[in-house]
Structure 1
Amino acid sequence: MYTLTIDEGGRDVSTPHDTPEAAQAALHAYLVFSDYYYQPTQLSAAHAAYELISLTQGQPRVVGVATIEPYTELAARRDLRAVFAAIGPAHALAS
């Protein structure tokens, strides 16, 4: 599993994907929809980071960042703890 995280203007959204290629395709769709371009800032086998660039006002400006990285068991446990902390274990298990 891989996570695509897009942080634009302080709002971050994370989505799970089966492969890094699927995460890359989702990022590309987001860029087309938002009329943005991207510039790689870090590319490795385990992690990719990009700046999101807008050209709408004639000058290129960075409007956000995107990362693609493996979704590890450690991250899954952290997310589960966050859910339990936010809504309580009894409610989380009941839903």
Structure 2
Amino acid sequence: MAQALGAAKAPVAARAKPYAKAGTRAETRAETRPAAVPAERAEAPAIVCNRRRAQFLRDLNEAKELRDRVQPRRARAARMRQAMRMRTFRW
């Protein structure tokens, strides 16, 4: 009886997956990628990267200022530690 149940069940690889897409990720990426990128568009990723970095740094500074406003004791302690580091630093 165990053989009859095992024989009736299809192997995992043979089962159809209705949600699976045709082709692999690498194939679909290769199909959508342009053949050659013009020189003026080659600089675009660097510009986008710099813009994202600048936005991130602005958000980071804003978050630090907000933290200093809502936690004044911790901010004062951090300022005191920074001042001590500056006083004890030797050139």
TM band (smaller chain): under 0.3
Higher strand share: 1
Larger Rg: 2
Higher helix share: 2
Task: Point out which structure has higher relative CO (alpha carbons under 8 A, 6+ apart).
Answer: 1
TM-score (norm: length of structure 1): 0.23
TM-score (norm: length of structure 2): 0.23
